[in-house]
Amino acid sequence: IEDGQIDPEIEKLKKISIEIKHEKQEKIEETEEENNIIDIDTFQKIDIRVARVISCERIEKSKKLMKIEVDDGDGKRQMSAGIAQHYTPEELTGKQIIILVNLKPVKIMGETSDGMLLAASSGEKLVVLTTDEEIEPGSKIS
């Protein structure tokens, strides 16, 4: 190879290397998006806390919905949750549950839902997430 050809070949290799890096990064981002992967900054925006169920009642005209009032450490909050086929109001009242606090409020069947309780499901089974020991309402989950 003549001296005059070396520098242009090095530049071509640098461009190819940059293109490969960009393609790899795009594939990583596509995979993350497909798998709903979030970064730590996004996760830190989520406000998950312990709350105590103050009262709970079925929402009329609905087989699935319950209206739940909780103490979230900052006061009372009302939520609607599709758990009426799995729990009675008596089973939930007094329990410490895990809730998502900073969710935009919505109206569901005429009731305001200001937050979301967290639950796990497997097939037909649904279980509300609770604490295994008493802790102050409003305690943050991290």
The encoded tokens of residue 95 equal 């329990």
**Residue 80's pLDDT is what?**
95
Q: What is the DSSP string of 94-107?
A: T-EEEEE-SS--EE
**Residue 140's pLDDT is what?**
94
Neighbouring CB atoms inside 10 A of 141's CB total 15
pLDDT, tens digit (0-9, with 9 covering 90-100), for 42-54:
888 999 999 999 9
pLDDT, tens digit (0-9, with 9 covering 90-100), for 3-39:
788 888 888 888 888 888 888 888 877 776 777 778 8
Strand ranges, E, within 38-140: 48-58, 66-71, 76-81, 96-100, 106-108, 111-113, 116-117, 119-122, 125-128
pLDDT greater than 80 at residue 141? yes
* List of residues 6+ apart from 92 with CB closer than 8 A: 53, 56, 66, 68, 83, 128
pLDDT, tens digit (0-9, with 9 covering 90-100), for 67-126:
999 999 999 999 999 999 999 999 999 999 999 999 999 999 989 999 999 999 999 999
pLDDT interval class at 55 (50, 70, 90): very high
